[in-house]
Amino acid sequence: MRLSPTTVAGLCLALSVLFFAFLNFDRLSEPGTYLLRGHSRQIEVEAVEAAMAHQAEKHRLENALNAAEAKAEAAAAAAKHAEDEKQRTAQQQKESFAYVFYATSNEYACSALVNIHRLRNVLDSEIPIHLLVSDGVTQSYRRAAQTLGVGVHAEEAPPIAGGMSGSYYQDCMLKLLAFKMHTLDPKLKRVLAFDSDQLIMRNLDPLFTGLPPIDLAAPRAYWLAKDFLASTFMMISLSDRLWKTVKQALDKVEYDKFDMDLVNDLLGDSVMMLSGEYVTLNSHWEDWNLPRWYHAESELNMTTIDLINQLHAAPAAVPQDVGVPTVASAQEVKSSMTDVDFIPVKRQGTATKIKVEGVTNTAHAPDPSHTTATSTSPKVQAASQTPTPRFPETHPLTEELTRLQSAAAVIHFTAQGKPWMKLPADVRAARPDAHPLLAEQFRLWRETAALVCPGGIPEAQRTKGETSRNGVGQV
């Protein structure tokens, strides 16, 4: 039986299908296998792509982090450079400032050392210090100042017309050589010149940058007149022009003119007047009055009747010879200075010639002084009599005078002479009714002098009973 070609073709096709089915039986039995494997490959491709993207992001983040770190390092380096530059500039600025003291005798050199010690070791000043000395200051004091890092300059006071060489009038002019400090130390641009017979109570470094760059700033001589400056404290902006002006005046100065008169004549109309806190007289603690520049804290929020009521409410433990505080006492708290303290004086020659009891006619007799009426001391009382202040500790005026000392930047010794002349016990005996801080100011000065002055308090003025710097005695 012969098969037709069509049949043969059909059989061949059927056999081919069967053969293919036989060969792919396993695959055909799992119809989703190809799809799953294809999906797996897709997942693998996506995973590889994600890993590559992650790696690229990691590199990008690492690069960004490195860039940020580089920027931070650059910023830190710039900040350090700026800080170094700031410190260098600040150091250069400090080196262009200086405190300047002057002394014409060992006593005043000792007082300068007291204040130098206070500035350096008590008040933490960082400003350089210079000391102008005449031939009246011995080598031991000069070396003591140099040991403290002070620049010591031996200078002679400008000559005085009229043959007054070596006089008080000539010696007091040594202070005015502070106007030429830039010729002694070219780095200096600004100096703060002091009298030595004072007690510095505050760090004054901020004044060098806080005051405007004017020729002269000085406190008002408030005990004399409102338009008269005190030469005991002078912030000077150094210049050849200013020194030329001062030198020309010094070359023609007469014997009866004081340094304070000369400075007022030259610069009184251009000076920047500072508060009296920079030249607070210690006579306030002797005479129980407050300077007009000082304002009690209570005054700011109290009426006059409040003050009067507060004074009359003071404890009754007032000594019988003092009496109960009256309205006049309230006025003392509110205002302070008596009429005598503000007697006007002529500007030529008289403003600084007021004598203080117990002060000899030396180059450092105080320019600022209270009048004879307020500075005359009573006879020293017997040692057995206990000093009794005029007002008790709880009295408002007692408290305000205590605050006054805290407000004072510089205290000038005028009442009861200079601190090397009297023991605190002598001050209390001479002024038994004075505020206790008057004697304490003397004690503070003397205790410091016993530590820093060669041999202790100068021998020429040492009071019997005191010992040298290495000993222990009554101060």
Question: Of all residues in the chain, what percent carry a pLDDT higher than 90?
Answer: 49
Q: Which residues of 180-208 are buried (b: 16+ CB within 10 A; e: fewer)?
A: bbbebbeebbbbbbbbbbbbbbbbbbebb
Answer whether residue 424 is part of any domain. yes
306 and 242 in a common domain: no
332 and 241 in a common domain: no
Answer whether residue 28 is part of any domain. no
Q: Would you state the pLDDT for residue 147?
A: 96
251 and 317 in a common domain: no
174 and 104 in a common domain: yes
Residue 399: what residue type?
Answer: E
Answer whether residue 102 is part of any domain. yes
414 and 392 in a common domain: yes
Q: pLDDT: is 33 or 289 the higher one?
A: 289
Q: Which residues of 88-114 are buried (b: 16+ CB within 10 A; e: fewer)?
A: eeeeeebebbbbbbbbbbbbbbbbbbb
Answer whether residue 251 is part of any domain. yes
pLDDT value at 375 more than 50: no
Q: Would you state the pLDDT for residue 387?
A: 67
Q: Would you state the pLDDT for residue 50?
A: 86
Count of structural domains, the chain? 2
430 and 334 in a common domain: yes
In the chain, the N- to C-terminal Cα span, in Å, equals 156
- Mean of the per-residue pLDDT values of the chain: 78
* Lowest-confidence segment of 319-328, 408-417, 459-468 by average pLDDT: 319-328
286 and 259 in a common domain: no
CATH number at residue 139: 3.90.550.10
253 and 108 in a common domain: yes
Beta bridge partners of 220: 229
Residue that is last in its domain, among 219, 249, 277: 277
Answer whether residue 6 is part of any domain. no
Q: Would you state the pLDDT for residue 94?
A: 75
pLDDT value at 378 more than 70: no
State phi, psi for 130 to the nearest 5 degrees: -125, 155
Q: pLDDT: is 400 or 330 the higher one?
A: 400
298 and 272 in a common domain: no
The 10s digit of each residue's pLDDT in 180-199 is: 999 999 999 999 999 999 99
pLDDT value at 362 more than 90: no
pLDDT value at 360 more than 50: no
Q: Which helix (H) or strand (E) element contains residue 84? A: helix 33-95
Q: Would you state the pLDDT for residue 212?
A: 95
Residue 309: what residue type?
Answer: N
269 and 292 in a common domain: no
Answer whether residue 53 is part of any domain. no
pTM here is: 0.67
Residue among 162, 112, 107, 103 nearest 133 (CA): 103
* Lowest-confidence segment of 29-38, 107-116, 324-333, 391-400 by average pLDDT: 324-333
What is the extent of the structural domain holding 302? 279-440
The rounded distance, in Å, linking the Cα atoms of 251 and 158 is 8
435 and 395 in a common domain: yes
376 and 358 in a common domain: yes
The 10s digit of each residue's pLDDT in 8-59 is: 777 777 777 777 666 665 555 555 555 566 677 888 888 888 888 888 888 8
Average pLDDT over residues 397-405: 94
Helices (H), strands (E): how many in the chain? 17, 10
Q: Would you state the pLDDT for residue 149?
A: 95
Q: Would you state the pLDDT for residue 51?
A: 86
C-alpha R_g of the chain: 43
Answer whether residue 310 is part of any domain. yes
Average pLDDT over residues 59-71: 90
